[in-house]
Structure 1
């Protein structure tokens, strides 16, 4: 069983929106989060979707799921006090769902609700890579020089060809990522910025796939305008065939 855990629990302070969190901003009459969920809902290998949402926005999300005829969302759970806690809440909901279905070796794909430009091919590649080596981190090549501050007055500048940017989905066997989360909680380590950092810390091998460059996270107003342009391109391709 393959489950998408979509994180939509942030408030989006860098977007400077007043009335709505960024994941609920409308684009052509559809919230950004729905664009993201639809990609998982339409994927033939995804069996269920868990959404982690700001608690006060859960009723609105449920309304949008009905409006846009999303069929694979099996749980909507509130976020926690941090990104790590919110993802854990979603993973626990996925665990409950797999127990109901008596599934023992499920794969979970952890994705940002504000990354609506992921492709079907990348989702497929994530599932295949987890089956191959136990995990999958979606990446893109670094297109600018990366500088590492050693905090001792020196800098390290790795070769750009050796550098990758981690994006999403980040995918694992559900039992493995839950084990890592529970170890971190027992040890009081709650500072991990994302799932690949957590899994790397606990010694899990990380498999890599290259995703599309346009798989950006909608964080700032500029990102929103890029998304709007990309959606227009995709719609024109469908209408005019180019």
Structure 2
């Protein structure tokens, strides 16, 4: 079975624009998170779509689904988010297994709720690659030179740009692999996790790459929000 996990547990601390998490801000005629959900609803391969939300906003999320996607209520499940993105993913996994049981071949496609311009091509390629390889990340080649600084004051290294990529989402996994690798980490290793793919990297499990797009914008800052508003006004994504 194939499941989606939309990660909407954040509170948008870097936005400083509203008294609500950024995923609930309007983008055109509907909230950002609804734009994102609509992309996943359009993919018939998902058996169930989960969305992890901060406990204080569960009711609000359910009301949005009732308003904008009432015909999909049976296919979308709202769950309480965790302390971080990996905690939210694990909460979703727990809900999946309590309802559908455990299966070594089950796939989970995780995606940031504030990346509303994800394309169907990216979603489909994530599903296919996760089935084939077990772990996959969506990336774009680095355009600018990447500069490393150990102390934030002077340059420590400048890696070869042709080896550098910028990570996006979706990130997709065979659930059994993700659980096994996460369960093998100690507390110190868990503290350095930046995303779900880092779980695999820490344990030397190969993560396959899927091509993302610069249009697959993550809305994090007020500047991102303004760009997204312009894109929602008519920019076509692949």
The size of the alignment, in residue pairs, is: 233
Cα distance per residue 1:172-211 (max 9 Å; x no partner): 1011112222223677733311011111101211100111
1:168 corresponds to 2:169 = yes
For 1:185 and 1:5, how far apart are their aligned partners in 2?
A: 25
Q: Residue 111 of structure 1 aligns with which residue?
A: 111
**Aligned 1:92-103 pairs, distance under 5 A:** 92-99=94-101, 103=103
In structure 2, stretches of 5+ residues that fail to align are none
Given that 1:84 and 1:190 are in contact with CA atoms closer than 8 Å, whether structure 2 keeps it comes out as no
For 2:93 and 2:192, how far apart are their aligned partners in 1?
A: 18
For 1:68 and 1:20, how far apart are their aligned partners in 2?
A: 19
1:106 Cα offset (Å): 0.9
**Aligned 1:168-187 pairs, distance under 5 A:** 168-184=169-185
For 2:206 and 2:59, how far apart are their aligned partners in 1?
A: 39
Structure 2 CA distance for partners of 1:228 and 1:154, relative to 1, 3 Å: closer
For 1:145 and 1:105, how far apart are their aligned partners in 2?
A: 39
TM-score by length of 2: 0.90
RMSD, aligned CA: 2.1
Given that 2:112 and 2:169 are in contact with CA atoms closer than 8 Å, whether structure 1 keeps it comes out as yes
Given that 1:9 and 1:86 are in contact with CA atoms closer than 8 Å, whether structure 2 keeps it comes out as yes
For 1:97 and 1:213, how far apart are their aligned partners in 2?
A: 36
For 2:74 and 2:218, how far apart are their aligned partners in 1?
A: 23
TM-score by length of 1: 0.88
